[in-house]
């Protein structure tokens, strides 16, 4: 089990010298697209081997807009994790750790790409719906089915809702998220299984985890939750390589998934709630510009993180 799950996945559950869980399911963010609308527009359809760049993605959403319809809807009720995780594809890091372990926020060129793209789509191109910025993923599905927008960036597991809720005849497909300097890299926070500290039968509990997460069982768990397994053998299973419902697109992204950038940053929850969330919400709505966003994330953010690193 230890060797079958890649080291990058284990990093997400390793703190200090301890491993605090087994990462077994993970969920990349993908583009769920109206296949008929893409076909009618004539735009190039991306694949994991040839994804859209972030610039190309912006141009495509402009082409797909007009007559009261949008190219994309961004459900950003929780904007921070989506922004940070997708920014890995553009080479963004945001959190920088020095030799002594101290973490500081630096909003650099790679970190700008994803926020700037979303901001321009909403406020300049009018190719992204402004009304969905405060929405959750499920809230955007009726508009996708109705043709209000052509694409929605969503977690991989949302495919289950689409299968269950899409009107008869609705054609949809799964596309990889855009890529930049970091390729198809993306941050994820895997689902984990752990043994409680006060468990009286720790060895038996770990033996059960070893059984539960054998490749054939990990495949069943992934299919049931519409997510990707972390194990290499499970990922190779033909059931997860079929084009149906976009499984093959998802498994093609698995090797590029990384631990979410903020996962090991002390003080991140306060930084997210008090600094990053309101700053990104205001930037995406057009209330502030990129320079003010950078100032808040760095200056205000580092004041918050400094309290946790004394």
Q: List the domain boundaries for the chain.
A: 7-25+188-259, 29-184+261-306
- Contact (CB, 8 A) for 130 and 285: yes
Report the alpha-carbon distance of residue 36 to residue 21 in Å, rounded.
43
- List of residues 6+ apart from 295 with CB closer than 8 A: none
Q: 3-class SS at 308?
A: coil
**pLDDT grade, residue 309 (50/70/90)?**
confident
Return the percentage of the chain with pLDDT > 70, whole number.
Answer: 100
Q: Give the pLDDT of residue 101.
A: 82
**pLDDT grade, residue 310 (50/70/90)?**
confident
Q: What would the pLDDT profile of 137-154 be if each residue is shown by its tens digit?
A: 999 999 999 999 999 999
- Give the residue-averaged pLDDT of 188-211: 95
Q: What is the DSSP letter of 271?
A: I
Q: Where are the alpha helices (DSSP H) in the chain?
A: 7-11, 35-41, 54-63, 79-87, 109-123, 141-146, 159-165, 202-212, 215-225, 232-235, 247-253, 268-270, 277-285, 290-295, 301-306
Q: Is the CATH number 3.40.50.300 carried by domain 29-184+261-306?
A: no
Q: What is the DSSP letter of 179?
A: B
Q: What would the pLDDT profile of 214-269 be if each residue is shown by its tens digit?
A: 999 999 999 999 999 999 999 999 999 999 999 999 999 999 999 988 878 999 99
Q: Give the pLDDT of residue 15.
A: 84
Phi, psi of 180 (to 5 degrees): -135, -140
Q: How many helices (H) and strands (E) does the chain have?
A: 15, 13
Report the alpha-carbon distance of residue 300 to residue 104 in Å, rounded.
11
Q: 3-class SS at 289?
A: coil
Ramachandran assignment for 101, one of left (phi > 0), alpha (psi -120 to 50 degrees), beta (any other):
left
pLDDT at 100 over 90: no
Q: What would the pLDDT profile of 284-305 be if each residue is shown by its tens digit?
A: 999 999 999 999 999 999 999 9
* CATH class assigned to 7-25+188-259: alpha beta
- Give the residue-averaged pLDDT of 41-60: 97
- Give the residue-averaged pLDDT of 58-74: 97
Is there a common fold for 7-25+188-259 and 29-184+261-306? yes
Q: Give the pLDDT of residue 202.
A: 95
Which two structure tokens, joined as six digits, stand for 16?
């200090």
- Give the residue-averaged pLDDT of 272-277: 96
Report the alpha-carbon distance of residue 263 to residue 21 in Å, rounded.
14
Q: What would the pLDDT profile of 176-198 be if each residue is shown by its tens digit?
A: 999 999 999 999 999 999 999 99
The C-alpha torsion from 182 through 140 and 270 to 110, rounded to 10°, is 20
């Amino acid at each position: 089990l230890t060797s079958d799950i890649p080291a990058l996945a284990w990093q997400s559950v390793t703190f200090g010298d301890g491993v605090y869980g087994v990462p077994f399911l993970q969920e990349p963010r993908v583009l769920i697209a109206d296949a008929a609308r893409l076909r009618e527009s004539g735009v190039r359809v991306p694949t994991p081997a040839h994804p859209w760049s972030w610039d190309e993605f912006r141009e495509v959403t402009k082409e797909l807009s007009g007559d009261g319809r949008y190219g994309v809807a961004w459900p950003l009720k929780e904007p921070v994790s989506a922004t940070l995780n997708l920014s890995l594809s553009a080479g963004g890091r945001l959190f920088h750790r020095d030799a002594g372990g101290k973490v500081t926020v630096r909003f650099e060129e790679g970190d700008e790409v994803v926020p700037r793209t979303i901001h321009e789509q909403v406020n300049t191109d009018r190719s992204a719906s402004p009304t969905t910025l405060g929405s959750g993923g499920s809230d955007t599905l009726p508009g996708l089915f109705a043709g209000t927008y052509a694409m929605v960036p969503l977690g991989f597991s949302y495919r289950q809702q689409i299968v269950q809720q899409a009107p008869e005849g609705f054609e949809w497909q799964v596309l990889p998220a855009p890529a930049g300097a970091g390729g198809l890299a993306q941050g994820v926070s895997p689902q984990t299984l752990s043994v409680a500290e006060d468990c009286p039968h720790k060895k038996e509990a770990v033996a059960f985890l070893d059984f539960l997460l054998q490749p054939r069982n990990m495949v069943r768990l992934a299919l049931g939750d519409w997510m990707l397994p972390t194990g290499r053998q499970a990922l190779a299973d033909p059931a997860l390589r079929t084009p149906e419902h976009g499984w093959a697109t998802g498994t093609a992204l698995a090797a590029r998934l990384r631990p979410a950038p903020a996962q090991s940053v002390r003080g991140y929850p306060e930084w997210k709630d008090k600094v990053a969330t309101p700053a990104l919400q205001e930037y995406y709505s057009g209330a502030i510009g990129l320079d003010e966003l950078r100032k808040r994330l760095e200056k205000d953010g580092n004041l918050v993180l400094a309290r946790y690193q004394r």
